[in-house]
Amino acid sequence: MMHLLLLLLQAAAQPPALTVDEIMARVAENQDRAREARTEWVFHQDVLARLHRGNGKLAREESWEYVVTPQPKGVKKDLLHFAGQYEQKGKMISYDHPHYEYKGIDIDGDVISSMGEDFAKDAGDEDEDKKGTDLFPLTRQHQKRYQFTLEAHEDYRGIDSYRVTFRPKPRQPGSGKRDSTIDSDAEDGDWKGEVVIDAKEFQPIVVTTGLAWGIPMAVRALLGTDVKHVGFKITYKKVADGVWFPESYGGEFFVKALFMYKRTISVGVKNSEFHKTDVQSKVAFETPQ
The pLDDT tens digits for 132-149 are 556 688 888 889 989 999
Name the phi and psi angles at 216, rounded to 5: -55, 145
> Is residue 127's pLDDT more than 80?
no
Tell me which residue of 272, 236, 275, 269 sits closest to 116, measured CA to CA: 269
What does the domain layout of the chain look like in residue ranges? 18-276
Confidence band of 259 (pLDDT split at 50, 70, 90): low
β-strands 204-211, 243-257: how paired?
A: unpaired
Q: What is the pLDDT of residue 252?
A: 87
Note the pLDDT of residue 92: 96
Residue 199 has pLDDT above 90, yes or no: yes
Distance, C-alpha 234 to centroid of its chain: 5
Residue 289 reports pLDDT greater than 80: no
The overall longest dimension of the chain from CA atoms, in Å, is 85
pLDDT digits (tens, 9 = 90+) for 5-54: 554 444 444 556 899 999 999 999 998 888 888 888 999 999 999 999 98
Contacts of residue 8, defined as CB under 8 A and 6 or more positions apart, other chains included, come to none
At residue 223, the pLDDT reads 41
Secondary structure, 3-state, the chain: CHHHHHHHHHHHHCCCCCCHHHHHHHHHHHHHHHHHHHHHEEEEEEEEEEEECCCCCEEEEEEEEEEEEECCCCEEEEEEEEEEEEEECCEEEEECCCCCCCCCCCHHHHHHHHHHHHHHHHHHCCCCCCCHHHHCCCCHHHHCCEEEEEEEEEEECCEEEEEEEEEECCECCCCCCECCCCCCCCCCCCEEEEEEEECCCCCEEEEEEEECCCCCHHHHHHHCCEEEEEEEEEEEEEEECCEEEEEEEEEEEEEEEHHHEEEEEEEEEEEEEEEECCCCCCCCCCCCC
Higher-scoring residue by pLDDT: 228, 153: 153
| 0.85 surpassed by pTM | no
Selection from 87, 2, 72 nearest residue 39 by Cα: 72
224 pLDDT band, cuts 50/70/90, is very low
Distances in Å between the Cα of 106 and the Cα atoms of 70, 119, 164, 201 are: 35, 21, 42, 47
Closest by CA position to 84, among listed 101, 71, 97: 97
**Is the pLDDT reported for residue 288 higher than 70?**
no
Confidence of residue 122 (pLDDT cuts 50, 70, 90): low
User: Which candidate, 287, 254, 251, places its Cα nearest to that of 269?
Assistant: 251
Report the distance separating Cα 9 and Cα 281, nearest Å.
Answer: 55
Q: Higher model confidence: residue 104 or residue 63?
A: 63
pLDDT over threshold 80, residue 229: no
